[in-house]
Structure 1
Amino acid sequence: MAATSQDPHSVGEIVRVVVLGARIARREAKGKSTKALERRADAIRVKAQAREDARRASRKK
């Protein structure tokens, strides 16, 4: 379920992306690679958007 009617992300997905963002910031401060964490955050966003697009498409029928 989306957090708001305008947002495709669920509350759990928002929390996961925020936590990943904090981990990314800590790793950047240490000079370490953040590529894997960024990929995970992107995957969460893409999955949420795809789910919301499918939901909207089914409502238009």
Structure 2
Amino acid sequence: VTELLHIGSVSAERGSVSRGGIPVDIDLRGGTADIPIIVCRGLQDGPVLWLNGATHGDEP
């Protein structure tokens, strides 16, 4: 059985890189507004790194 890690729309197997999004809102046309994410999952458990950029990208 393959153990999957699920975050938003991403399902990542061990040793893989997966792309997707986390739905945060519904736009004016009824579609979802997503925050794009990339999940790089290692082969083994260990330290975790979270990188976050442009949280307030429109501020001077």
TM-score scaled to structure 1, two decimals?
Answer: 0.28
TM-score normalised by structure 2 residue count = 0.28
Greater share of strand = 2
Between 1 and 2, higher relative CO (CA 8 Å, sep ≥ 6) is seen in 1
